[in-house]
Amino acid sequence: MTIIRVPIILWALMVLELRRRGAGKGESGAFLLGRQQGFSAQATNYLCYDDLDPQACRYGAVTFHAAGYAALWQYCREKKVEVLADVHTHPGKSVEQSPIDRRNPMLPVVGHIATILPNYGYTPWWSLKDVGIYEYLGDLKWRAYGPSKEQRRIRLTIW
């Protein structure tokens, strides 16, 4: 099981940016990028969906298109990074996956991690307590990770 280590400053910057982009009215999202190192991965940066696909968050919900994926893969090749997880916001307090989320993984690759922030990103940036974390198992099946630190696939770190 791969643990994704995310520096708390990087996480905070991403959460605050997603909050700003959604402006309390619409969903926003980003890909966490970095490098895999054995059974752990280190996040080094993030790319917001609408920087890759300007139409991605235009209508209040995320709809990511082929041009955005092409830009993502080009960026990953150039910077020698890989997608470690995706993060998107939901309205309200629930961080449960919607039926649309379950049927449309951002990366339909077994082991991919998807995270959901509540309240359009208006959530504590220093904690994962209120964040939904899901692992894609294939065949449109997911494993949810609870709030226990031992179960989490993402860990906030000092650096």
pLDDT digits (tens, 9 = 90+) for 3-23: 999 999 999 999 999 999 999
Integer CA distances (angstroms), 143 to 31, 64, 86, 114, 138, in order: 19, 23, 15, 10, 10
pLDDT of residue 45: 97
pLDDT of residue 121: 95
Residue 60 pLDDT grade (very low, low, confident, very high; cuts 50, 70, 90): confident
What is the average per-residue pLDDT within 115-119? 96
What is the average per-residue pLDDT within 56-78? 92
Q: What is the CATH topology of the domain spanning 3-38+45-53+82-157? A: Cytidine Deaminase; domain 2 (3.40.140)
Tell me: pLDDT of 149 over 60: no
Average pLDDT over the chain reads 93
pLDDT of residue 146: 72
Tell me: pLDDT of 133 over 90: yes
105: exposed, middle or buried (Cβ count in 10 Å: 0-12, 13-18, 19+): middle
Residue 68's Cα: distance from chain center in Å?
15
